[in-house]
Amino acid sequence: MTSPTDHALRLPAWLSSLFFLALLGLVALTAWQWRNGPPISANLLQLLPSGAPGELEQLAEQRVQAPLNRDLMLLVQHEDEDTAVALAQEVAGNLKASGLFAQVRRSVQADLPAMRQQLLDQRLVLLDRASREALIASPEDFIQQRLQRLFSPFESTSLVPVEEDWFGLADLAQRRLPHPGNIHPRLDGALLAEHDGQRWAVIHAQIHGDAFDDKLPLLVDDQVRAARHRVESQQGELLAAGGVLHAAYGQRQAREEASLIGSVSLVATLALLHLLFRTSRVLLVALPVLVGALSGAAACVALFGQIHVLTLVLGASLVGVSIDFPLHYLSKSWTLQPWQAFRALRLTLPGLALALATNVIGYLAMAFTPFPALSQVAVFSAAGLLGAFACATCLLPSLVNVPLQPWAAPLSWAERALALRQRLLGRLPSSWLLAGFVVFCLAGISQVSFKDDLRQWVSRAPALQQQAERIGQITGFEPTSQYFLVRAQTADELLERQEALGTRLDELVAEQKLRGYLALSQLAATTVAQESLHLALPRLLEYSQPLLALGMTAGALEKELAALQAKPVTGLDQVLAGPIAEPWRPLWLGTRSDGTVAGLISLQGLRDSSALHGLADGIDGVSLIDRPAELNRLFAETQRQAALLKMFAAVVILALLCLPFGWSGALRCLAVPLLAALGSLACLGWLGQPLTLFGLFGLLLVTAIGVDYAILMRERIGGAAVSLVGTLLAAVTTWLSFGLLALSSTPAVSNFGLAVGIGLVFAFLLAPWAAKTTEEPAS
């Protein structure tokens, strides 16, 4: 079968052996990397640059993110409240039994004796500011109010009995503690939330570990589905919200999409190739794609420890580009007859190597942006292309070295198309077309919105979003990613600063711009405030006549005051250790190594984040952490940086292209992809689509792929028509992998697919201009 010339053209045998060795190594490496299950992450935060530079900021971020990632809230509603509670009990039991949760709570399990003890021991430090001030300003009124509470039929009974709290300080402290949220125990202890006349049984669960641990979200999601099924079978309604459910949705969606888009594009591509080349041997071109995907994933895991699902979706299709390598030389079979794989490879190798180099340069430029998301995709693609190229050159030719008789029709179509183009150019010169194109581009680009938003990175799950919003409305728990970080020299200073900020936040709450907040200053008084309270206590005795009239004895009152005054002041850490402090505990960041202290103020149900800006002005040591805004700023910055890097890459590619083509040829080859990218950007504008960071990445990809086409058309191995067929084939296969991404439900991915899909059309249409104009197409 092989001719002597074919033998001579073969690549050296050691190269194939080396490739096999490398392939074995790659498979072994991948197997080792996947030894503990797939190293795939769905944690969006890993794709974002860490905006929190300091250790303290990171700790704060962790504290704020923890409930967003770990909490799962389930609400059960039924016409009959008791059925709802019974269903909630059953569901909570199942959740507990699953072993996935560190905690499942559906009823009050408050340790009342421990709470009572803390109120007794710490009543002075727990007393709220208004009550402290009232006591100091007018002990008489304070006693009068105590009397009112004793007589009132409408005040709740106190945890601390009267005989241990004659002056009612513990009673008042208990009363004035803020109650975050709208969840209350029913008379039998079951937690309920009421909204719009409906009562919902509440289950609050916390998962073990993190929402983004690989298998956990799907398992938790299964549990929630089962619970929903159970509740709905009883004509009840179940609402569920939690970061873990979003993670599960994202994982499912990404996996389904990756496999759907991946398999559709693979099947369509292979069917097309089979149709054109009429031998199933040609289907082996899938091999470089596989090797490419394997190398890309291995490189990512080796460099980043994990591979993100978003990278996998984007990267898997990027490798679809790698199918172009074998296609470039296989398409030469239309004219290079009799077909000799090695000869075709030898002829196209310089062009292929050039295309590889320009592509890898294009991708690697992206790796230098500070965005881990782009770095991951860039590394995946660059490594994937290298792997695919190696496979396409070292292994594939010997596998497809069989007689090839491609379907002749496409070649004649290409010849006709080229002739048509020539006639068109005869009537309408290139410069006119260019001018028209530029006008189209400018008009389109002026309509592009460059707004980027983190929300575009996650696939839309309207059902989940809607449930989360309803749960927020019903329970009053609407965790917010914006928060305040307060630093101070001492705990007292920290409490003072939080109190000052709290007063301003109270105004926002009154204006209904904010639902509520949690601050350490709501819980504990400063030691200074406790000391002034100590000083004011004896005056209570002077006005205690009304209490004596009720039958309290002077001795008992004196004894209580003496005991209170004898107590040393209570530190913030002591207060936080008690059971009452549970909701506030995460806010305390502790004492830093330099002796300073730090604490958070967390916000609930923020309606207008702009209301927070400037709110802390004039209070030292307070910083507003607005992560979403910060990220959106970073997006914009990265866009600019990515564009600059790409320009730099273009210069390098230009220099590279100068070697074979000279200055004017290189410029021509580079102009094709750049114009294609512009055209695609303009189309996004015309379509009313924004340019996201990933869209930009898509445009950069278009320039890289466009260079390939330009090189192919420029080199014209086997003639212009053959090159055009080869380019079309490459474009169609690439389009099959990228264009399909436009259908993704993740806005960022879909935007990327659209940008690439449109750009490819332009790159193909413009590619013939890369050739020298003076020559007639050779045949």
Residues that bind another protein (CB under 8 A): 81-82, 108, 110, 112, 115, 144, 147-148, 150-157, 159, 161-163, 174-179, 182, 184-189, 192, 194, 546, 549-552, 580
Selection from 41, 752, 754, 110 nearest residue 457 by Cα: 752
Q: Which long-range contacts (CB under 8 A, 24 or more apart) does 418-425 make?
A: 418/720, 418/721, 418/724, 418/768, 418/777, 421/768, 422/777
- A 10 A CB-CB count for 699 gives 26
Selection from 180, 202, 140, 394 nearest residue 288 by Cα: 394
Tell the smallest beta-carbon distance from residue 491 to another protein (Å).
Answer: 22
How many whole angstroms separate alpha carbon 93 and alpha carbon 448?
53
Q: What are phi and psi of 570, to 5 degrees?
A: -100, 135
How many whole angstroms separate alpha carbon 418 and alpha carbon 436?
21
Tell the smallest beta-carbon distance from residue 560 to another protein (Å).
Answer: 12
How many whole angstroms separate alpha carbon 64 and alpha carbon 175?
27
How many whole angstroms separate alpha carbon 353 and alpha carbon 208?
50
Hey, is 701 helix, strand or coil? helix
- Cβ proximity to another protein: between 547 and 572 the closer is 547
Tell the smallest beta-carbon distance from residue 189 to another protein (Å).
Answer: 5
How many whole angstroms separate alpha carbon 604 and alpha carbon 515?
6
Q: Is 315 left (phi over 0), alpha (psi -120 to 50) or beta?
A: alpha
List the structure tokens of 112: 């009342």
Q: How far apart are the first and last CA of the chain?
A: 27
* 645: DSSP letter: H
Selection from 305, 100, 104, 308 nearest residue 215 by Cα: 100
Residue type, 150: L
- Cβ proximity to another protein: between 214 and 560 the closer is 560
* 489: DSSP letter: S
Helix residue ranges, H only, 687-774 = 693-715, 720-738, 747-766
Tell the smallest beta-carbon distance from residue 738 to another protein (Å).
Answer: 54
By the 8 A CB rule, do 474 and 76 touch?
A: no
Residue 562 buriedness (CB in 10 A; 0-12 / 13-18 / 19+):
exposed
How many whole angstroms separate alpha carbon 557 and alpha carbon 552?
7
Helix residue ranges, H only, 567-623 = 572-577
Tell the smallest beta-carbon distance from residue 503 to another protein (Å).
Answer: 18
- Whole-number CA gyration radius for the chain: 35
Beta pairing, strands 588-591 & 237-241? unpaired
- Cβ proximity to another protein: between 194 and 507 the closer is 194
- Cβ proximity to another protein: between 89 and 335 the closer is 89
The enclosing H or E element of 259 equals: helix 243-277
- Cβ proximity to another protein: between 315 and 586 the closer is 586
By the 8 A CB rule, do 557 and 547 touch?
A: yes
- Cβ proximity to another protein: between 153 and 618 the closer is 153
Residue type, 145: Q
- Cβ proximity to another protein: between 181 and 397 the closer is 181
Q: Which residues, other chains included, contact 51 with Cβ-Cβ below 8 Å and sequence gap of 6+?
A: 627, 630, 631, 634
- Cβ proximity to another protein: between 110 and 134 the closer is 110
Hey, is 357 helix, strand or coil? helix
- Cβ proximity to another protein: between 133 and 493 the closer is 133
By the 8 A CB rule, do 523 and 581 touch?
A: yes
In the chain, DSSP finds a helix count (H) and a strand count (E) of 31, 13
- Cβ proximity to another protein: between 549 and 659 the closer is 549
Q: Is the Cα torsion angle 188, 192, 198, 200 positive or negative in sign?
A: negative
- Cβ proximity to another protein: between 110 and 500 the closer is 110
Tell the smallest beta-carbon distance from residue 210 to another protein (Å).
Answer: 30
- Cβ proximity to another protein: between 175 and 274 the closer is 175
Tell the smallest beta-carbon distance from residue 497 to another protein (Å).
Answer: 25
- Cβ proximity to another protein: between 365 and 580 the closer is 580
- Cβ proximity to another protein: between 141 and 511 the closer is 141
How many whole angstroms separate alpha carbon 35 and alpha carbon 710?
43
- A 10 A CB-CB count for 96 gives 15
- A 10 A CB-CB count for 12 gives 9
- Cβ proximity to another protein: between 188 and 775 the closer is 188
- Cβ proximity to another protein: between 579 and 621 the closer is 579
Question: Which residues, listed in sequence order, are joined to residue 479 by a DSSP beta bridge?
Answer: 604
- Cβ proximity to another protein: between 204 and 714 the closer is 204
- Cβ proximity to another protein: between 31 and 187 the closer is 187
Tell the smallest beta-carbon distance from residue 184 to another protein (Å).
Answer: 5
Selection from 75, 136, 134, 129 nearest residue 106 by Cα: 75
Tell the smallest beta-carbon distance from residue 164 to another protein (Å).
Answer: 9
Tell the smallest beta-carbon distance from residue 148 to another protein (Å).
Answer: 5
Tell the smallest beta-carbon distance from residue 615 to another protein (Å).
Answer: 24
Tell the smallest beta-carbon distance from residue 111 to another protein (Å).
Answer: 11
Residue type, 492: D
Tell the smallest beta-carbon distance from residue 703 to another protein (Å).
Answer: 59
How many whole angstroms separate alpha carbon 749 and alpha carbon 453?
13
